[in-house]
Amino acid sequence: TEMGTLRTYTELRFQWDTNDTVAGYTNDNEFSVNFAWIQLGGLRIGKDESFFTTWTGYAGAVINDGNYGPFDTNLISYTYNGGAF
């Protein structure tokens, strides 16, 4: 666009279990929105990992970084690249 690159990202997780054969067992059906944001130029709005508690590759190549802490947060951020370095 005229104001910069328009990007979006969404990560949803679904889980459906059926354990009707065990009496008294409740199903663990889950739905979660891990990340969902929209970015125009350097302005990003949505749910993402906090810039204050994470860094690139901090947990390695793992799917569940929840063992390290709950790093996701709602945010409004602006990233600027001055091109000087």
Q: What is the pLDDT of residues 16-48, one digit of tens each?
A: 766 655 566 565 667 888 889 999 999 999 998
pLDDT at 65: 53
Decide if 12 is inside a domain: yes
Two structure tokens written together for 56: 């690139």
In angstroms, rounded to a whole number, what is the distance separating the alpha carbons of residues 48 and 41? Answer: 17
pLDDT at 60: 57
Which residue range(s) make up the domain with 20? 6-78
In angstroms, rounded to a whole number, what is the distance separating the alpha carbons of residues 47 and 12? Answer: 12
Decide if 46 is inside a domain: yes
Is the model more confident about 79 or about 15? 79
Decide if 33 is inside a domain: yes
Decide if 45 is inside a domain: yes
Q: How many domains does the chain have?
A: 1
What are the C-alpha distances in Å from 50 to residues 8, 57, 70? 17, 14, 9
pTM of the predicted protein model: 0.63
